[in-house]
C-alpha cells in the first residue's frame, strides 16, 4: 500500500497531478488509482518508485503495510 507520506507529497506538490503522472511515466488515472488506494501495489512497485522520485520521497518511505480491518471476519 502507498504510504501516507507519499500521498501527502503528491497532494502538496505544486505541480498538477497530470504533470506528476507524466513525469513518472504514468497515465494520470493510474496516479489517481495508486494515491487513492484503488490499486494496491506491492512493495517495490516501479510505478510507485517513479512517483516517489518525481515528488522527492525516499524509496524506503513509499510503502506501508496494510492494516487488518478491525472486526472483519
Quick: pLDDT tens for 2-58: 999 999 999 999 999 999 999 999 999 999 999 999 999 999 999 999 999 999 999
pLDDT tops 70 at residue 68: no
The distance from CA 36 to its chain's CA centroid, rounded to whole angstroms, is 8
Reported CATH class of domain 4-60:
mainly alpha
pLDDT at 65: 81
Q: Where exactly are the structural domains of the chain? A: 4-60
Identify the bridge partners of residue 63 per DSSP, sorted by sequence position. Answer: 2
Q: What is the dihedral of CA 40, 45, 48, 53, to 10 degrees?
A: 170
Average pLDDT of span 52-68: 89
Cα 17 to Cα 22: distance, rounded to the nearest angstrom: 9
pLDDT tops 60 at residue 73: no
Amino acid at each position: 500500500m502507498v504510504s501516507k507520506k507519499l500521498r501527502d507529497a503528491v497532494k502538496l506538490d505544486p505541480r498538477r497531478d497530470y504533470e506528476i503522472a507524466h513525469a513518472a511515466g504514468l497515465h494520470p488515472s493510474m496516479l489517481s488509482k495508486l494515491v487513492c488506494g484503488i490499486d494496491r501495489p506491492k512493495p517495490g512497485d516501479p510505478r510507485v518508485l517513479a512517483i516517489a522520485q518525481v515528488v522527492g520521497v525516499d524509496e524506503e518511505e513509499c510503502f506501508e503495510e496494510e492494516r487488518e480491518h478491525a472486526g472483519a471476519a
